Amino acid sequence: MRRWWRLFGVVIGVALLAGPGCSREPSRTAPAAVPPGERKITVGVAKVEGRDVERSVQLVGTLTAQEEVTLGTEAPSTVAKILVDMGDRVQAGQVVIKLDDREARLEVERLTASLQAVRESLGRSRQMLESSQANVERAQAVLADARINLKRFEGLFAEGAISASQRDSARTQHDVAVATLRASEAQYESDRAAVGNAEASVVQAAAALDIARKRLQDTDVVAPIAGFVRKRLVNVGETFKEKTPLMSLVATHALKLQGDVPERFAPQIDAGRSVRVEVEAFPGQTFPGTITRVSPAVDVESRSFAVEASIPNPRGVLKPGFFAKASILTGTERNAPFVPEEAVASFAGIVKVYVIVDGKAEERRVKTGVRQNGRVEILEGVKVGETVATSSLSQLATGTAVTVQTGAGNGPGPDKGEGGGAGKARSTRKAS
């Protein structure tokens, strides 16, 4: 009996194991996927619009003052007064620091008296020179008369009309006249040399007086440029050595921006091109400028060349030392293609749009440029006048049949024209 139950249990187990496989009904076949070419996706569309785009090259650098000076003095002195301080505006020629001028003033008075003395000495030397010249002229006349008398007496002596002693007396007078003339000429040369020395002394004394006057004038430290006080470096009563910096001035009516540009942009960069500058202190604002200097050489290590731009600063809002980014305008590209932002799909670094051609979607991988007013520039991949999908992009693939959604959201907007009408809004693309 127990054996029979064991056999019965084995049969029941086999039946349970085999039952599901034997009694399973045939599975229903899943409906086949509709091929992309046979289904239709409703999409919004827009025309690829043509716009003018300004091209630019980026320049990064630091704003610096076009004029910056540090005031000092050539002689040791003591600070008497400080008339301006950091941040004060100064004009060219304005006195900003007064130094102790007592010693300089006394030196001017001493040299003034010395100059007067040498001028009087020069006057006396010139009078003596005039007297010596008169003596020379008188000696020349006496010699001429003695020469005539000697010639006449020698003739009379030859005729026996006079004695030898008379002839010898005339000869002696002639010799005395010659010696007198030589002495007068020597005195004249001496007096003339004295006049030259006196004139040199006058020039020397005048030069020394001019130096003293300059040192006296230098006790008033003046601003050579119009601008602002950047830093005060001394205090009242402080005594300093020569060539000590006293105050730093900076002119901010115009600043300059210096930076480097990659060598590939060399054909596009030259003096006179417009620049737009942005600084972190004034987000959203741009400041116009002009390229003033371009380096004639390229740095062999960085493969770039230096560029300098002048940035007008009439309101004084820009400050030297600001970090600045500038766009150098290199030209305008006409009729560049733009599509709505919603027409661009991006995934895993791939950027694409779907162009609608003969009722079907066509995937195009594109390269984008600037964004402006809800539109994206397409550098390559589409052309002006083509139609792109603006919705249901995740459901599209190349060959997908589409139905264009009707409504106000399709077609050209208020700033668009049919067939990619030329919108005139301007945009700037940063060249890479």
Same domain, 362 and 319: no
Q: Residue 8: what pLDDT?
A: 44
Asked if residue 312 belongs to a domain, the reply is yes
Cα distances (angstroms) measured from residue 154 to each of 20, 142, 176: 181, 18, 17
Give the whole-angstrom CA distance, residue 160 versus residue 402.
Answer: 157
Per-residue model confidence (pLDDT) at position 182: 94
Q: For the segment 13-65, what is each residue's pLDDT rounded down to a tens digit?
A: 434 444 444 333 333 333 444 454 456 889 999 999 999 888 888 889 889 99
Which of 60, 58, 67, 59 shows the shortest CA–CA distance to 320? 67
Query: What CATH code is carried by the domain that includes residue 399?
Result: 2.40.420.20
Q: Per the structure, how many domains does the chain have?
A: 4
Residues 277 and 56: their CA atoms lie apart, in Å, by: 12
Question: Is residue 396 within 8 Å of residue 46, measured between CB atoms?
Answer: no
Q: Could you say which residues of the chain have pLDDT below 70? A: 1-39, 407-432
Percent of the chain with pLDDT over 70: 85
**Domain extent for 399:** 40-53+333-431
Report the distance separating Cα 376 and Cα 345, nearest Å. 12
The pLDDT of residue 37: 46
Same domain, 111 and 196: yes
Pairing of strands 323-340, 274-279: antiparallel
Residue of 209, 253, 211, 300 lying closest to 65 (CA atoms): 253
283 falls within a domain: yes
Mean pLDDT, the chain, rounded, equals: 84
Same domain, 120 and 212: yes
Query: What is the pLDDT, as a whole number, of residue 216?
Result: 92
CATH number, residue 271: 2.40.30.170
The residue out of 315, 332, 349 marking a domain boundary is 332
What per-residue confidence (pLDDT) applies to 415? 38
Alpha-carbon distance of 211 to 181, in angstroms, equals: 45
Domain termination site, one of 293, 314, 332: 332
Q: Are residues 277 and 371 in the same domain?
A: no
pTM of the model: 0.58
Question: Residue 79: inside a domain, yes or no?
Answer: yes
Question: What is the predicted pLDDT for the residue at 30?
Answer: 39
- So what's the pLDDT on residue 410? 55
Token pair 């766009």 is found at 327
What are the Cα distances from residue 375, in Å, to 104, 218, 270, 344, 363? 74, 64, 31, 10, 19
Q: Are residues 354 and 427 in the same domain?
A: yes
> 152 and 91 in one domain?
no
Q: What is the DSSP letter of 415?
A: T
- From first CA to last CA, the distance across the chain in angstroms is 95
The answer to whether residues 125 and 213 belong to one domain is yes
d(CA 63, CA 255): 6
State residue 349 phi and psi, 5-degree precision.
80, 0
Q: What CATH number is given to the structural domain containing 231?
A: 2.40.50.100
> If you count them, how many residues does the chain have?
432
CB 228 within 8 A of CB 88: yes
Looking at residue 329, its pLDDT comes to 85
Distance CA 289, CA 332 (A): 18
Residue 124 placed within a domain? yes
pLDDT in tens, 353-393: 999 999 999 999 999 988 888 999 999 999 999 999 999 89
13-47: burial string, b at 16+ Cβ within 10 Å, e else: eeeeeeeeeeeeeeeeeeeeeeebeeeebebbbbb
